[in-house]
Structure 1
Amino acid sequence: MSAIGISGVLIRGPLAQGIVRGVYTRDSLFTDSVRKNYNVGGIYRKEFEERIDLIDKVKAVYGTEPMAELALRYVISHESEPIAIPGATSVSQVLQNARVGEKLLDQETVERIREILRSE
């Protein structure tokens, strides 16, 4: 698309179905059809645990930042200027998500988070 002067990246699910928000832990028991495969013995359990581990690594460095805000800022701070489409279950989450666009991360922070995510 960039050959014709148009570029765009759309990020769907940047909060990993609530995992980044801290809604779920390793001990969570999922009963809904979307997440039940994250349970122990489920086909996506390993992926779920890997996501929790990555979030814990980021928290170790940026623990004072709300993880959902940090994750969304990380996504929209990419040089491709992507659009993030996070989910929300309350008005306060919608407002929090909207405020994220007021401040991007500096390049040093983006690189540091990228290093953490690639360390796996």
Structure 2
Amino acid sequence: MSSSKPAWSERELPAFFRQWRTDWKDEDLSPDNYLDFEGGLRFVLAAAWLFCPETVQYRGCVILKERFSQGTVDDWFTNLGDDRRRIEAAAKITVEVSDEEDGSYGPTVTIWTSPAISTSG
């Protein structure tokens, strides 16, 4: 029989946030409070733009709007057939998020694009 209680993850707050909360002597402060205190809303908006970029759906592929060129994508289809995985990989940004090894700063965000994919196979 399944339980009707929610299952919560035990995600730990970043070390810099815990230290900030301790410095303010208020363990009830939340990440929302941090944004208000530190004027962080502009950074959240920038991150939202990076993690949720505008996309174009074309010929069954999802491609970043800023990297979309109909002629180029049509050429990729001509040379790669229906290999949508390779076509999409050529025009996407990859975002990797990882924790600092010592936990001292918070997550590291790495943003990169795939190298040009050869259309010759």
Pick the TM interval, shorter chain. under 0.3
In our comparison, the structure showing a higher alpha carbon Rg is: 2
Select the structure that is richer in strand.
2
TM-score with structure 1 length normalisation? 0.22
Normalising by structure 2, what TM-score? 0.22
**Greater relative CO, 1 or 2 (CA 8 Å, sep 6+):** 1
